[in-house]
Amino acid sequence: MNTFLTVGFHARAAMASLLLLLGCVLAAPALAEAPPSVFLEDLTWTELRDAIASGKTTIIVPIGGTEQNGPHMALGKHNVRVKLLSERIALALGNAIVAPVIAYAPEGSVAPPSEHMRFPGTITVPDAVFEQTLESAARSFKLHGFSDIVFLGDHGGYQDNDRAAADRLNREWTRSKTRAHAIDGYYAVTQHDYVEALKRRGLSAAEIGTHAGAADTSLTLALDPRLVRAEKLGAAPKPGAGEGVYGDPTRSSAELGQLGVDLIVVTTMAAIKAATAR
């Protein structure tokens, strides 16, 4: 008798727990549908097809690069930055999708190692391979209905390659409505307007630098601070020390970097609108 009572008690307890769980599920508010992502990689092929059909016919091709950025900044800086900035630009445009980041770019020679290739972790590809990758990706996007393919390069070393690839594609597509665009303004603004904005905040040209200095590091801090080793910003790099830093990142900050973020987004959005106007 005691055994039957025990079994019955456990059965009733299990049923009560099940009913309680079911009640919680039924009472819970329906999950809100997540807003559609602008990243091609996040979409199914049918979602992408429908997005193109609804007017999202511009695709941004973010071009990064994997290279040394001094002892204080991660090798993937360009890749992370260009993806986050491309997302903001696409959202601001309202009619754009963001392609996967191209992380392999020309970074110097291997034998003998030159430029950033002198530092572990940097990856390089020949100019021709890089340009063919851009062109092949663009032809894929054209096939699937995109009318404007936009190259955005976060690195200064391959801006000419971007333009060369776009020019070849446009000659190939003379009889087509599809166009490729190498948007120089995306990178140019970091070399001019952003630099001037930092100078107005009291930074010197020597601090701002050209690679892994205050400008470069601040921009990264504003977008993804996990990429920056804050404990290594306390002392300026020693000249001639071979650390891969051209500038002084000591006074870098996310606040200073936000100046660059805002300038890049506004300038690039306007440049894309002008380039794609029919």
Over the stretch 74-128, which tens digit does the pLDDT of each residue have?
A: 999 999 999 999 999 999 999 999 999 999 999 999 999 988 999 999 999 999 9
Strands 96-98 vs 179-182: parallel, antiparallel or unpaired: unpaired
**Which tokens sit at 73?**
């900044």
Distance CA 197, CA 200 (A): 5
Confidence tier at 18 by pLDDT (50, 70, 90): very low
Q: What is the CA radius of gyration of the chain?
A: 25
Residue 20 has a CB neighbour count (10 Å cut-off) of: 10
User: Which helix (H) or strand (E) element contains residue 222?
Assistant: helix 214-223
Confidence tier at 237 by pLDDT (50, 70, 90): low
Q: For 14-18, 110-114, 245-249, 270-274, which range has the lowest pLDDT when averaged over its residues? A: 14-18
pLDDT at 234: 73
Per-residue pLDDT tens over the stretch 238-265: 655 588 999 999 999 999 999 999 999 9
Q: Domains of the chain (ranges plus CATH)? A: 40-276 (3.40.50.10310)
Distance CA 268, CA 84 (A): 13
Does residue 29 surpass a pLDDT of 90? no
- pTM recorded for the entire structure: 0.86
Average pLDDT of the chain, as a whole number: 90
Q: Give me the mean pLDDT over the 193-222 stretch.
A: 97
